[in-house]
Amino acid sequence: MLQDSKVVVALDYADEASALNFVDKINPSQCRLKVGKEMFTLFGPEFVRKLVARDFDVFLDLKFHDIPNTVAKAVAAAAELGVWMVNVHACGGKRMMEAAKAALVPYGDKAPILIAVTVLTSMEQEDLAQMGVNITPAEQVIRLAKLTKESGLDGVVCSSQEASMLKESLGKSFQLITPGIRPAGSAAGDQRRIMTPVEAVAAGSDYLVIGRPITQAESPMQVLTEINESLVS
């Protein structure tokens, strides 16, 4: 299926019917779909299978963070679901990330893209300081992104505010998946390191993860269409 859009819609709905009502109105050329902790916990792998069966590229955003053996098994289970992308926390360390990557080798070119979360886009300097991390979010992001690349992964989750710096130091092919995207005028909510869709793409984001500005809009389809049109160069 031809995938044109850089938008990954975060399907953070509390009920399956609302999620499928939105999905039924779109096609895979308009966006990819992200299933996170809320919907996976509520509706499990069967919900993911339904989206994959509709030909959508699915990002399974469960942010695995555990011992290497457990994460490797979880990532392989994600590959069995046929998802397009899966992630772990870079804070799990190099051995954990290497184990996750190795677990995908048997899937060859059917393996999902494997990325690692650096610093959550909801976090700012004060949040890091409270955890004893006394550097800026950007410094922590580059540190974890370098470790992710050394571990053989395909890219990172970061904010678009770090995108140009990461592209410059880690190269064009290292994928940058950026939540914390807010079209002008939409509420930031709990997000802290944000950018508009147009700014994010200009900064070097490869994929834009967008949830509430689309899913909570009066007309989600209209917002998605407007964002896609704003990104056509």
- Catalytic residue numbers read 61, 63, 66
Regarding 179 and contact with ligand LLZGTKA7 (CB under 6 A), the answer is yes
Regarding 211 and contact with ligand LLZGTKA7 (CB under 6 A), the answer is yes
Is 61 among the annotated ligand-binding positions? Answer: yes
Regarding 212 and contact with ligand LLZGTKA7 (CB under 6 A), the answer is yes
What does the DSSP assignment read for the chain? ------EEEE---SSHHHHHHHHTT--TTT-EEEE-HHHHHHHHHHHHHHHHHTT--EEEEEEE-S-HHHHHHHHHHHHHHT-SEEEEEGGG-HHHHHHHHHHHGGGGGGSPEEEEE-S-TT--HHHHHHTT--S-HHHHHHHHHHHHHHTT-SEEE--GGGHHHHHHHH-TTSEEEE--B--TTS--TT--S-B-HHHHHHHT-SEEEE-HHHHTSSSHHHHHHHHHHHH--
What is the smallest separation between the CB atom of 109 and ligand LLZGTKA7, expressed in angstroms?
26
141, 147, 203, 210: which one binds ligand LLZGTKA7 (CB under 6 A): 210
Window 57 to 116, contacts with ligand LLZGTKA7 (CB under 6 A): none
Window 148 to 167, contacts with ligand LLZGTKA7 (CB under 6 A): 157
Residues that bind ligand LLZGTKA7 (CB under 6 A): 10, 12, 36, 117, 120-121, 157, 179-180, 189, 191, 209-212
